[in-house]
Chain A
Amino acid sequence: NAGVTQTPKFRVLKTGQSMTLLCAQDMNHEYMYWYRQDPGMGLRLIHYSVGEGTTAKGEVPDGYNVSRLKKQNFLLGLESAAPSQTSVYFCASQTPGHLGDTEAFFGQGTRLTVV
């Protein structure tokens, strides 16, 4: 049981390049989230999804797009990377709280540097 897996774990991009971060979970969770973590700012929610085929904006969505074509996968895309997007990105998944007791599981993080 792998839990939440993020791919890749490290990446260096040049300004203007595009890339996609993959988050995969094998726990059949409904909800998935993408966060970025910057020093002194905690985790800020970029986008989230409450089910297959649905996505919504979080606190800092600009410059990112997401897709949830399959329940187990949540993709985060950067169309034209900027140095301000240098950060550590975390993916999380959970089952809706009202359906039972659960925690939110996090991936190991992706360290992205845009030069």
Chain B
Amino acid sequence: AQKVTQAQTEISVVEKEDVTLDCVYETRDTTYYLFWYKQPPSGELVFLIRRNSFDEQNEISGRYSWNFQKSTSSFNFTITASQVVDSAVYFCALSDNYGQNFVFGPGTRLSVLP
């Protein structure tokens, strides 16, 4: 069975600090997809990134960066120089190659204080 663990329930940082959100996954598949979504207080789910299991290259998009390590089954998300607008719940998710078992972690609530 596929499973996603986000051990950090809540994190609070002060604006401009860097913060890393952890994501550990379990799967027996060799081909799979990992995602990060942001859920701001308004409630919608905002897509951030999708990565397939064959692409271990780290990715940077502005203040956001992702570190994918198959050896430790982790797909961690770092926000550099955090801002108040980054306050949200962040979800890590895992999907198999055929879109079945598209499962989410419990989420990490990030609060960025001014």
Cβ of B47 and Cβ of A103 under 8 Å apart? yes
Cβ of B43 and Cβ of A109 under 8 Å apart? yes
Across the interface, name the chain B residue whose C-beta is closest to A31.
B99
Number of interface residues of A (CB under 8 A): 30
Query: From DSSP, what is the main secondary structure of chain B's interface residues?
Result: loop
* Complex alpha-carbon distance, A56 and B101, angstroms: 10
Across the interface, name the chain B residue whose C-beta is closest to A35.
B104
A92-111, CB < 8 A from B: 92, 94, 96-98, 101-106, 108-109
Cβ of A50 and Cβ of B102 under 8 Å apart? no
Cβ of B103 and Cβ of A59 under 8 Å apart? yes
Across the interface, name the chain A residue whose C-beta is closest to B107.
A42
Cβ of B106 and Cβ of A42 under 8 Å apart? yes
- A59 CB contacts on chain B under 8 angstroms: 103
* Complex alpha-carbon distance, A97 and B87, angstroms: 29
11 additional A-B pairs beyond A45-B104, A92-B45, beta carbons within 8 Å, are A42-B106, A44-B104, A50-B99, A50-B100, A59-B103, A94-B99, A96-B97, A97-B97, A106-B45, A108-B44, A109-B43
